Amino acid sequence: MTDLVIPAPSLPTVPTSTGGRFPVRRVFCVGRNYAAHAREMGHDPDREPPFFFTKPADAVVVDGADTPYPSATARLEHEVELVVAIGSAGSDVTADHALEHVWGYGVGLDLTRRDLQAEAKRLGRPWDAAKGFDASAPIGTLVPAAGVDPAAGAITLRVNGDLRQSGDLADQIWSVAETIAELSRFVALSPGDLLMTGTPEGVGVLDRGDTLEGTIAGVGSVRTRIV
């Protein structure tokens, strides 16, 4: 066996309600999957199929831990989302069988450097710096898929106790099953993959000291403080 020339990086993990930890391999995100949010971002939700971007696995912030305010931005924004944890591999899966690949669900925050994203859009450049920065994905405790309905349930985000985002999983343009199936056309799903499934309307600016609490009925919550 070849010796490593540097120490191997640690594997990011997320706590689960079963007491074990879920190892994170990759983090995929689907853009503009709620009609009202698509409109508030200036887009027509009826025209486009799902599209995806990624965050590195080590962008995950464990529930309850502080999240550092990122550098190189003056407009950090919140997006609360349902997180899907993939438990078995698959490629080109059909929507009818997509949920068979799900280990469980959680609540996550897709933190965004909105000013960098706007500039990237203007220049036709990738969103990596706007979406895939350090500590950009706080994620709550994952719960097993059994008993969870990913097609319905209130989803909310409060900042310092004030309601910022409110919607329902039923408002998703593409269902969880459809989104998984579409993603599996482009990459082979693997155990340890996470999929963040889009956010309802009401995204807004965050400041240092803000406390965020996202909840999804029947799934759980995520909590973090911006420092």
For residue range 1-20, list pLDDT tens digits in order.
579 999 999 999 999 999 99
Q: Among all chains, which residue has been given the structure tokens 């409060």?
A: 158
Task: Say what the pLDDT of residue 156 is.
Answer: 98
Residues (pLDDT < 50) of the chain are none
Q: Residue 49: its pLDDT value, please?
A: 84
For 225, the enclosing helix (H) or strand (E) is strand 220-225
Residue 115: the pLDDT is 98
Domain 21-225 has CATH 3.90.850.10: yes
Q: What is the DSSP string of 53-82?
A: EEE-GGGEEETTS-BPPPSS-S-EE--EEE
pLDDT value at residue 44 = 66
Tens of pLDDT, residue by residue over 143-178, are: 999 999 999 999 999 999 999 999 999 999 999 999
What is the C-alpha to C-alpha distance for residues 5 and 146, in angstroms, rounded to an integer?
43
Q: Give the model's pLDDT for residue 36.
A: 67
In this structure, which amino acid lies at residue 225?
A: R
pLDDT, residue 48, reads 74
Please, what sign has the CA dihedral across residues 118, 189, 78, 168?
Answer: positive
Residue spans of the domains in the chain: they are 21-225
